[in-house]
């Protein structure tokens, strides 16, 4: 692609850039593994070395999971939980209200139940706040709990967990969130992001909480086996049967699908296809998912339904569903999650509409999307911030004004580090609370500080990116001829799955193609056939483009030539086995 082409805007308003890979390394992989050049190039772009190709293409948990005891406090944790199991202690679990929290608490609960222990479970409502609370600790103590385990939370909950310790409860944290130099003074903290970890296996830091919990279960199970527990009492459980939940939490927490995470998801999808989890099966059926689940379905079909209970409903229903062993109850809870998800969509659409009216109805002084409303549900502001960021390609800040405080959520673009921005605002006394990562953050402030925060954020962002609108860039992984976009290539591409964070689905460019018989189908979709003068044709579809420039250009193509970019997938509809191109963007040639 020429320098001129790389600055030219597409019909979708994007600049395309073809990613550059180490050609020698791509050639090496192509020759060593007998794969097409395009696949070798994509592997190089994903950072896969020649020695890692086999484990990337065929990830195995047995090869990628080290001895769990490599993590600090893991052995101590395993011995203590095994003691609680053998002595039938009352165990209590506190989780988070998102998918990672629901799957983490479910995996641990299901394992303990198979060992004859019925744990107490607490999933906080969103209004209660993230993590363990004094109220939950007191309730557990009143019910006789002697061991408290927090999953997907707790690493920085100093006061609450040290209070629990003072109540003569042993406290264990199993988490994956960022840790501080100081750790709570409790029995054990198992977290691959502890600052004092040895990092012999760096990819363990990428695990979602449910991945850490699964490693913990492996360790506890090994300790119980060593003690002869199963020989005397129970049949040793098959831990692999819970990998469907591990895969679900891993994908939905948007952690990089590298190393052990990749094996979790690849194997977990196979387990999910067996439909052994009654609750998860009910949810799959309610969602109308008839094909074998993929990482896409976990992230965009099942995940939102499970998240909906923590956003707009009863936070513990998701956990109950995932642990359910009764078909009737599973159907009821799956229906309830569907209802919550519909309500979440309605609330979300309302807030998005109001936010867009504010942004587009008033000239904006800064290159940000900054909005606040008094009747906006806290549970959707993060989703709305993400959608505003996608629509305007600007850092987005969305706030819900409550009686006692303002709660906000933000999403960013690569040029602006939200974590640093939030820290700076806290240091200036503008925010009362806040934290996050480069691309996402949450925060709180007083209502009378909103305008001061707007000015601070606006100036901060303007210094980073300037006042001009930013043109989004689409990074193209490879260029392919229409004739080369065949079912054999689809077979190769599917070996790169699962796709997700850290391993995005390859974006492919087809040059100089004509759009044959473009037709509007469904609600705003455009279907056509891509044809090349070099030979070959390929079915294609562009979704939700009927009301934008891409759709209009396709429908009025009349033999014009285009470059198109998108993803190449298998069309399985009604038993088909054909390649199909899903168009993301187009650019008129010449």
Q: Is residue 128 part of a domain?
A: yes
Task: Kindly state whether residues 484 and 409 are assigned to the same domain.
Answer: no
pLDDT band with cut points at 50, 70 and 90 for residue 18: very high
The partner residues of 243 in beta bridges, in order of sequence, read: none
Burial class (CB in 10 A: 0-12, 13-18, 19+), 477: buried
Instruction: Give the 3-state secondary structure percentages of the chain, helix then strand then coil, rounded to 5.
Output: 45, 20, 35
- Residue 495 · residue 450 · CB < 8 Å: no
pLDDT of residue 467: 57
Whether 64 shows a pLDDT value over 90: the answer reads yes
Burial class (CB in 10 A: 0-12, 13-18, 19+), 574: exposed
Whether 3 shows a pLDDT value over 70: the answer reads no
pLDDT of residue 433: 83
pLDDT of residue 286: 94
Q: Is residue 34 part of a domain?
A: no
- Encode pLDDT of 90-144 as tens digits: 999 999 888 999 999 999 999 999 999 999 999 988 767 678 999 999 999 999 9
* Coil vs helix vs strand at 521: strand
- Residue 444 · residue 405 · CB < 8 Å: yes
Task: Kindly state whether residues 411 and 513 are assigned to the same domain.
Answer: no
Task: Kindly state whether residues 224 and 122 are assigned to the same domain.
Answer: yes
pLDDT of residue 520: 94
pLDDT of residue 575: 78
Q: Which of 177, 211, 235 lies at the terminal end of a domain, its last residue?
A: 235
- Encode pLDDT of 159-203 as tens digits: 999 999 999 999 999 999 888 889 999 999 999 999 999 989 999
For residue 89, which phi and psi values (nearest 5 degrees)? Answer: -70, 160
Mean pLDDT of 420-448: 88
Q: Is residue 316 part of a domain?
A: no
Whether 45 shows a pLDDT value over 80: the answer reads yes
pLDDT band with cut points at 50, 70 and 90 for residue 7: low
pLDDT of residue 13: 87
Q: Which of 417, 444, 465 lies at the terminal end of a domain, its last residue?
A: 465
CATH number at residue 434: 3.10.310.30
Q: Assign 3-class secondary structure to 528-587.
A: EEEEECCCCEEEEEECCCCCCHHHHHHHCCCCCEEEEEEEEEEECHHHCCEEEEEEEEEE
pLDDT band with cut points at 50, 70 and 90 for residue 362: confident
CATH number at residue 483: 2.40.50.140
Q: Is residue 451 part of a domain?
A: yes
pLDDT band with cut points at 50, 70 and 90 for residue 5: low
Task: Kindly state whether residues 358 and 431 are assigned to the same domain.
Answer: yes
Burial class (CB in 10 A: 0-12, 13-18, 19+), 482: buried
Task: Kindly state whether residues 69 and 158 are assigned to the same domain.
Answer: yes
Could you give the percent of the chain with pLDDT greater than 90? 75
pLDDT of residue 558: 86
pLDDT band with cut points at 50, 70 and 90 for residue 469: low
pLDDT of residue 559: 84
Task: Kindly state whether residues 100 and 209 are assigned to the same domain.
Answer: yes
Task: Kindly state whether residues 408 and 443 are assigned to the same domain.
Answer: yes
Q: How many domains does the chain have?
A: 3
Q: Is residue 315 part of a domain?
A: no
pLDDT of residue 457: 96
pLDDT of residue 1: 52
Q: Is residue 122 part of a domain?
A: yes
Task: Kindly state whether residues 86 and 200 are assigned to the same domain.
Answer: yes
Q: Cα separation of 190 and 106, whole Å?
A: 18
pLDDT of residue 363: 83
**For residue 215, what are the domain limits?**
62-235
Task: Kindly state whether residues 504 and 528 are assigned to the same domain.
Answer: yes
Task: Kindly state whether residues 380 and 459 are assigned to the same domain.
Answer: yes
pLDDT band with cut points at 50, 70 and 90 for residue 459: very high
Is 234 or 236 the better-scoring residue by pLDDT? 236
Whether 4 shows a pLDDT value over 70: the answer reads no
Could you give the percent of the chain with pLDDT greater than 70? 97
Mean pLDDT of 415-422: 88
pLDDT band with cut points at 50, 70 and 90 for residue 472: confident
Mean pLDDT of 23-43: 96
Mean pLDDT of 490-500: 95
- Calculate the average pLDDT of the chain: 92
Task: Kindly state whether residues 101 and 150 are assigned to the same domain.
Answer: yes
pLDDT of residue 440: 84
Q: Is residue 452 part of a domain?
A: yes
pLDDT of residue 25: 96
Q: Cα separation of 239 and 253, whole Å?
A: 21
Q: Cα separation of 525 and 584, whole Å?
A: 12
pLDDT band with cut points at 50, 70 and 90 for residue 305: very high
- Residue 565 · residue 508 · CB < 8 Å: yes
CATH number at residue 158: 3.90.1640.30
Q: Is residue 430 part of a domain?
A: yes
Task: Kindly state whether residues 387 and 510 are assigned to the same domain.
Answer: no
Q: Which of 218, 235, 252 lies at the terminal end of a domain, its last residue?
A: 235
């Amino acid at each position: 692609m020429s320098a001129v082409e790389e600055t030219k805007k597409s019909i979708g308003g994007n600049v395309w850039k073809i990613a550059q890979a180490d050609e020698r390394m791509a050639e090496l992989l192509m020759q060593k593994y007998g794969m097409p050049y395009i696949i070798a190039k994509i592997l190089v772009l994903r950072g896969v070395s020649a020695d890692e190709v086999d484990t990337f293409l065929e990830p195995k948990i047995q090869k990628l999971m080290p001895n769990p005891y490599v993590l600090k406090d893991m052995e101590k944790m395993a011995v203590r939980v095994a003691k609680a199991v053998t002595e039938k202690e009352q165990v209590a679990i506190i989780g988070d209200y998102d998918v990672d929290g629901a799957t983490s608490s479910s995996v641990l609960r299901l394992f303990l139940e198979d060992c004859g222990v019925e744990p107490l479970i607490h999933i906080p409502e969103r209004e209660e706040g993230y993590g363990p609370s004094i109220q939950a600790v007191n309730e557990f103590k009143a019910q006789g709990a002697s061991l408290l385990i927090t999953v997907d939370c707790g690493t920085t909950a100093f006061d609450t967990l040290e209070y629990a310790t003072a109540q003569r409860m042993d406290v264990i944290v199993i988490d994956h969130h960022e840790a501080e130099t100081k750790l709570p003074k409790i029995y054990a903290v198992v977290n691959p992001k502890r600052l004092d970890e040895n990092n012999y296996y760096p990819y363990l830091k990428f695990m979602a909480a449910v991945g850490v919990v699964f490693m913990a279960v492996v360790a506890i199970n090994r300790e119980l086996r060593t003690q002869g527990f199963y020989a005397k009492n129970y049949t040793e459980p098959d831990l692999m049967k819970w990998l469907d939940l591990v895969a679900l939490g891993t994908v939905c927490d948007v952690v990089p699908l590298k190393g052990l995470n990749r094996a979790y998801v690849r194997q977990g999808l196979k387990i999910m296809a067996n439909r052994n989890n009654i609750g998860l099966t009910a949810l799959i059926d309610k969602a109308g998912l008839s094909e074998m689940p993929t990482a896409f379905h976990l992230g965009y079909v099942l995940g939102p339904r499970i998240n909906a209970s923590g956003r707009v409903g009863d936070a513990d229903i998701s956990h109950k569903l995932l642990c359910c062993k009764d078909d009737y109850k599973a159907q009821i809870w799956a229906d309830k999650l569907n209802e919550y998800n519909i309500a979440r969509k309605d609330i979300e659409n309302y807030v998005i509409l109001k936010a867009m009216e504010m942004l587009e109805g008033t000239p904006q002084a800064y290159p940000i999307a900054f909005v606040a409303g008094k009747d906006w549900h806290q549970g959707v502001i993060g989703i709305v911030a993400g959608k505003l960021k996608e629509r305007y390609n600007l850092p987005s800040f969305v706030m819900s004004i409550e009686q006692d405080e303002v709660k906000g959520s933000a999403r960013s673009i690569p040029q602006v580090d939200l974590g640093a921005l939030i820290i700076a605002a806290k240091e200036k006394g503008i925010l009362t609370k806040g934290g996050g990562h480069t691309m996402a953050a949450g925060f709180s402030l007083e209502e009378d500080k909103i305008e001061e925060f707007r000015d601070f954020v606006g100036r901060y962002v303007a210094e980073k990116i300037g006042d001009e609108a930013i043109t989004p860039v689409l990074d193209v992984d490879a260029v392919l001829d229409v004739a080369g976009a065949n079912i054999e290539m689809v077979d190769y591409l599917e070996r790169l799955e699962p796709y997700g964070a850290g391993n995005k689905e390859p974006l492919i460019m087809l040059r100089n193609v004509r759009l044959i018989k473009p037709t509007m189908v469904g609600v705003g979709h455009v279907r056509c056939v891509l044809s090349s003068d070099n030979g070959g044709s390929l079915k294609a579809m562009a979704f939700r483009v009927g009301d934008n420039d891409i759709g209009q250009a396709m429908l009025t193509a009349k033999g014009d030539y285009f470059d198109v970019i998108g993803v190449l997938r298998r069309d399985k509809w009604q038993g088909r086995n054909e390649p199909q191109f899903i168009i993301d963007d187009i650019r008129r040639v010449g």
